[in-house]
Structure 1
């Protein structure tokens, strides 16, 4: 298997690190060599946060060069655009359709959406995943719904993601997150 990787981007408090931990754990459970990196920046103040998970038969580096990331998981649109240089024409992007302004920044959402339309990748799945989480009764499971969608594109069996959710999350959060993951996985069939 070729090396696959996911670049996770968002702002502090979005759960980027937890989401990347679940993917890394699922890949390890599936028997892959896994490398992971994290950049926290000013994460506690709403600043940029990123993580990278690379997996395959043998992986030597936790990060991809610019233009080589096959998958991006973005919890908001501005961070997706900030990291767009790492994508290529065959990349797939899963992005939550929201903007989380960084301190002292005024954002024109219409301009952001126009910029996103110009991004040259194979697929951008832009959706208000918060609506899906609310439909399931919990606004804290947005990322897990997104992980369910992402998982459909990765060469990792669904059972390993569910096991990773059990391994990474506290017991009280496991059931709702497993449900959110399965919901996202089913949702991916409509979005792919």
Structure 2
């Protein structure tokens, strides 16, 4: 039986979503999975919407995840989770960063950032893990490590003990950031 898993990463440009996806893919490939990935960058390199779709299993024919098909959504920014929630399976897992990045329209005061985003999500989705990745990243000494903390939260849920995630980090991250990224993944896995 070819059971394909569908993972959707959503967030804002500059949050390290593509790097997190590449580490996931690298680990899955080295564990023998067939993997496909699709990525979409928003209008702005920094601040625009970014998504990556990762599908893995024995044999994967397409990188695209349809609505109501994601086994997990990892939202690096909480509003992005609301934008993509239609892609989550009814029994899927939502891992959301309790982090706010105001859009250009919010910054220009044309729109207001919605209130009670996390509460709204929890009222509609039963399987939600909320991570305050910014707080955890500050404790590690680098706010940019939020992406690896979020990845760690996902990896805990995927339960893939055969994958060497430290090796995947080493293959995708500059040497001077390897230890920080491995530690950040461990923090995410322990939340």
The residue number in structure 1 matching 2:142 is 138
The alpha-carbon deviation at position 48 of structure 1 amounts to 0.7
Q: CA RMSD in A?
A: 1.6
Q: Is the Cα–Cα contact under 8 Å of residues 99 and 109 in structure 1 kept in the other structure?
A: no
Q: Could you list the structure 1 runs, at least 4 aligned residues long, displaced by more than 3 angstroms after superposition.
A: 106-109
TM-score by length of 1: 0.90
The alpha-carbon deviation at position 158 of structure 1 amounts to 6.5
Residues 181 and 114 of structure 1: is their aligned pair in 2 closer, same or farther, counting only changes over 3 Å? closer
Deviations 1:75-101 (A, max 9, x none): 111111000110122111111101212
The alpha-carbon deviation at position 10 of structure 1 amounts to 0.4
SS at match of 2:62: coil
SS at match of 1:83: helix
Distance 2:176 2:46 in 1: 27
The alpha-carbon deviation at position 103 of structure 1 amounts to 0.6
Distance 1:97 1:114 in 2: 11
The residue number in structure 2 matching 1:190 is none
The residue number in structure 1 matching 2:67 is 66
The residue number in structure 2 matching 1:177 is 181
**Structure 1 regions of 5+ residues with no counterpart?**
188-192
Distance 1:33 1:83 in 2: 25
The alpha-carbon deviation at position 111 of structure 1 amounts to 4.1
Residues 58 and 66 of structure 1: is their aligned pair in 2 closer, same or farther, counting only changes over 3 Å? same
Residues 125 and 158 of structure 1: is their aligned pair in 2 closer, same or farther, counting only changes over 3 Å? farther
**1:118 is aligned to 2:123:** yes
Residues 151 and 8 of structure 1: is their aligned pair in 2 closer, same or farther, counting only changes over 3 Å? same
**Structure 2 regions of 5+ residues with no counterpart?**
none
SS at match of 1:90: strand
Q: Is the Cα–Cα contact under 8 Å of residues 8 and 16 in structure 1 kept in the other structure?
A: yes
Distance 2:176 2:4 in 1: 34
The residue number in structure 2 matching 1:147 is 151
The residue number in structure 2 matching 1:104 is 105
The alpha-carbon deviation at position 117 of structure 1 amounts to 2.6
Corresponding residue pairs, total: 186
Residues 159 and 88 of structure 1: is their aligned pair in 2 closer, same or farther, counting only changes over 3 Å? closer
The residue number in structure 2 matching 1:17 is 18
Q: Is the Cα–Cα contact under 8 Å of residues 88 and 120 in structure 1 kept in the other structure?
A: no
Distance 1:26 1:51 in 2: 16
